[in-house]
A and B are shown apart, each in its own frame.
Chain A
Amino acid sequence: MADYKDIIGLDIEAKSANPTDVITGEIWFNNTTGKLSYKKPDGANTWTTGGDLNVGRRMHGGAGTQTAALMFGGIGVTPPHAGIDQSLTEAYNGSSWTEVGDMNTAKYQFGDYGTQTAAASVGSADAPEKKLHEQYNGTSWTETTDTNSDKQYAKADGTQTAALAVDSNSGGTELWNGSGWTEVNDLNEQRLWAASCGEATAMLFFGGSPNGAASSGKTELWNGTSWTEVNDTTPARFHLSGAGTSTAALAINGQSTKTTQQWNGTSWTEVNDQSLDMNQGAASGTQTAALLFGSQIPGNTTKTEEWNPVDGTQTVDDA
């Protein structure tokens, strides 16, 4: 019978720490822990805890990646910020949040797009900021060209030179080209408190509430010209968050559910739940490396969760 050396070509090595460059099936002895360890295939993604926000909020904006994210605006949840519109901006480096330059106008439920160093907010829940468009350059926020029509409870995705913004109250959609907004085809069904992800030419808009009470699982896909209804999310929900692209998205949390679903360009599949209820949060990143931050739940309003694949490194004790 073949032994380990015959199969792998090496004896089992002793290492001072678990190596990061192992291949599936490799075995080693960790002489720090005194345990025999091995590598099995990495597992499905799960949620883990990230660094806490400095000021907890809900209905805020988010942009960037899992390890370079930006959070801005929103409404405070706990004293002394409870019920107060916020202009605060915080940046995440993969482990902690740091306060950076404030937005010019405090607001909530606006569209958000971009990266940690080139982000934007579009619209707001309240007058007179429903057409406001602010851009962030990595240091400070500057007001730029307003949208043509209101963008209330808006959703937006893209970059500072090509973005799409949707008014969740009417379904009105506008395209940003870096200097001005152009009205394009409306969403098929307006829905408040929905989620979105993608870019100016390929955006996904999902969930929400058509009337502020009922939940919707409807999903619509923007192809650069018009919106088309595709397969629904389940459960139907509002106050959810979205991350990823129009072909590889995540639908995260929502009112009364910690469900996470994955979109493959055609349909939604349920994956691992979150640990905490983070409804009314915001998300950034991709389908395989996402970040979720903030919530309307008082104990969770400063919390951050990270979405990563499970490392297949195991010790014999874990078997």
Chain B
Amino acid sequence: MADYQYCIAENWGKGFIENHESGNFKISGFPADIWQVPINNKKANLWIAKVLGTPKTRDEAQAILDTEIDAQQTAWDNNNVDGESSDEKIERLGAKPVDITLPA
């Protein structure tokens, strides 16, 4: 049985995750505004409602995440400066975004 549920919600900053929420259940954020919280958890469900989260299955969330990471990797690949070494590129842009697998 799955341990987590997923939703898409835009992180508006202050107040998006409050102390009484992160103190009561674990909230993990991923690229593309994907959020993971425990399944069958009343307080997590209330948080999803508060942030107007759109529920996604794990597979749907993974597909959205893959698309986002692909776009980030392409942007990284295409951002080049003439004569720049690989190490210099990593220094300038940071490491190339890596694939992420969401837990079930």
Q: How far is the CB of A18 from chain B (nearest CB, A)?
A: 11
Counting chain A CB atoms within 10 Å of each CB, the highest count among B17, B27, B29, B81 belongs to B29
B18 at the interface (CB under 8 A from A): yes
As a 0/1 sequence over residues 56 to 88 of chain B, the CB contacts with chain A under 8 angstroms (1 = contact) are 000000000000100010000001010000010
Contacts A275-B29, A303-B11, A304-B13 given; does A83 touch B79 at CB 8 Å: yes
Find out whether the CB atom of B94 lies under 8 angstroms from the CB atom of A275.
Answer: no
Find out whether the CB atom of A58 lies under 8 angstroms from the CB atom of B23.
Answer: no
Find out whether the CB atom of B26 lies under 8 angstroms from the CB atom of A273.
Answer: yes
User: Which of A139-147, A182-190, A242-250, A292-300 lies on the face that meets chain B?
Assistant: A292-300
Contacts of B81 in A (CB 8 A): 83
Contacts of A77 in B (CB 8 A): 94
Find out whether the CB atom of B13 lies under 8 angstroms from the CB atom of A48.
Answer: no
* Bound Cα distance from A47 to B66, whole angstroms: 26
As a 0/1 sequence over residues 279 to 319 of chain A, the CB contacts with chain B under 8 angstroms (1 = contact) are 01000000000000000111110011000111101000010
On chain B, the number of residues with a Cβ less than 8 Å from chain A's Cβ atoms is 32
Find out whether the CB atom of B92 lies under 8 angstroms from the CB atom of A83.
Answer: yes
A125 at the interface (CB under 8 A from B): yes
* Bound Cα distance from A313 to B23, whole angstroms: 12
Determine the main DSSP class of B at the interface with A: loop
* Bound Cα distance from A2 to B28, whole angstroms: 45
A75 at the interface (CB under 8 A from B): yes
Find out whether the CB atom of A52 lies under 8 angstroms from the CB atom of B29.
Answer: no
Find out whether the CB atom of A96 lies under 8 angstroms from the CB atom of B14.
Answer: yes
A267 at the interface (CB under 8 A from B): no
* Bound Cα distance from A49 to B16, whole angstroms: 6
* Bound Cα distance from A299 to B87, whole angstroms: 23
Q: How far is the CB of A97 from chain B (nearest CB, A)?
A: 10
Q: How far is the CB of A290 from chain B (nearest CB, A)?
A: 13
Set B18, B27, B92, B94: member contacting A280, Cβ < 8 A: B94
B95 at the interface (CB under 8 A from A): yes
As a 0/1 sequence over residues 4 to 21 of chain B, the CB contacts with chain A under 8 angstroms (1 = contact) are 000000010111111111
Set A49, A255, A275, A299: member contacting B28, Cβ < 8 A: A275
A95 at the interface (CB under 8 A from B): yes
Q: How far is the CB of A200 from chain B (nearest CB, A)?
A: 30
Contacts of A310 in B (CB 8 A): 19-20, 22-24
Set A48, A258, A297, A311: member contacting B17, Cβ < 8 A: A48
Find out whether the CB atom of A83 lies under 8 angstroms from the CB atom of B93.
Answer: yes
Chain A residue with Cβ nearest B32: A299
Find out whether the CB atom of B13 lies under 8 angstroms from the CB atom of A52.
Answer: yes
Find out whether the CB atom of B22 lies under 8 angstroms from the CB atom of A47.
Answer: yes
Contacts of A50 in B (CB 8 A): 13-14
* Bound Cα distance from A50 to B11, whole angstroms: 10
* Bound Cα distance from A125 to B23, whole angstroms: 38
A272 at the interface (CB under 8 A from B): yes
As a 0/1 sequence over residues 257 to 289 of chain A, the CB contacts with chain B under 8 angstroms (1 = contact) are 010000000000000110111001000000000
Given contacts A46-B22, A299-B33, A303-B11, 7 further A-B contacts (CB under 8 A): A47-B22, A51-B13, A75-B92, A82-B93, A212-B87, A275-B17, A300-B29
10 closest residue pairs by CB, A with B: A310-B23, A296-B94, A46-B22, A49-B16, A52-B13, A276-B29, A83-B92, A49-B17, A51-B14, A299-B31
Chain B residues close to A by CB (< 8 Å): 11, 13-24, 26-29, 31-33, 43, 68, 72, 79, 81, 87, 91-95, 97
